[in-house]
Amino acid sequence: MIKAIYPGTFDPITVGHLDVIKRAAKVYDKLIIAVMENKKKTCTFSKEERKKMIEKCVKNIKNVEVVVGEGLTVDLARKNNCKIIVRGIRAVSDYESELALATANMNLDENIETVFMVSKPELSFLSSSIAKEIASFNGDIKDYIPSAIIKEVSKKLYK
């Protein structure tokens, strides 16, 4: 069984994240979505809120599990017997930062590989930050946030 882990802050999960999840779930026997903390970001939603929202979005994907993670991604991957870390790439700027993370993870555990999944072109501009920015000005986020969670995201983001 090939298990992979897809870590991220997912604050909130976007249709771009969900696309990567659906595609990765077709490639791996088991996909663990890890809701992580990023000390460089201030999150709008708690880890538990993010976990519940992701679970709503993936409830029909049988080989996906959602966990709240802490610490280093490689440690969480090891703990869950995952040999693959899945990362989404939207643009060249993502590649540069993701390459640095992948290299650091490789140095921490050479038995865990990072696999990059390229965003679909129509989703390449999308991020949680953009969705939150649009919502902060009461803009329509239905094309950015999965429909399963649009109401709860809107409730928290719209002013």
Active-site residue among 47, 50, 51, 128? 128
* Contacts (Cβ under 8 Å, ≥6 apart) of 95: 89, 116
The domain of 152 spans 3-157
Q: What is the chain's mean pLDDT, rounded?
A: 94
Query: Is 90 a catalytic site residue?
Result: yes
C-alpha 14/C-alpha 57 separation (Å) is: 10
- What CATH number corresponds to the domain at position 58? 3.40.50.620
How many other CB atoms are there within 10 angstroms of residue 158's CB atom?
12
Query: Is 119 a catalytic site residue?
Result: no
**In 28-159, which residue ranges form alpha helices assigned H by DSSP?**
47-58, 73-79, 92-108, 128-136, 150-157
Best CA proximity match to 23, nearest among 82, 64, 56? 64
Q: What is the pLDDT of residue 158?
A: 78
pTM beyond cutoff 0.85: yes
pLDDT in tens, 109-159: 999 999 999 999 899 888 999 999 998 898 999 999 999 999 889 888 876
C-alpha 49/C-alpha 138 separation (Å) is: 21
Residue with tokens 């928290």: 156
Active-site residue among 41, 79, 142, 156? 41
Are 139 and 127 spatial neighbours (Cβ–Cβ below 8 Å)?
Answer: no
How many domains does the chain divide into?
Answer: 1
Active-site residue among 17, 47, 50, 51? 17
Query: Is 78 a catalytic site residue?
Result: no
Q: What is the pLDDT of residue 156?
A: 86
Phi and psi angles of residue 64, each rounded to the nearest 5 degrees, phi first? -115, 135
Query: Is 128 a catalytic site residue?
Result: yes
List residues bridging with 4 in a β-sheet. 31, 84
Q: What is the pLDDT of residue 159?
A: 63
pLDDT in tens, 61-114: 999 999 999 999 999 999 999 999 999 999 887 898 999 999 999 999 999 999
Active-site residue among 47, 90, 119, 132? 90
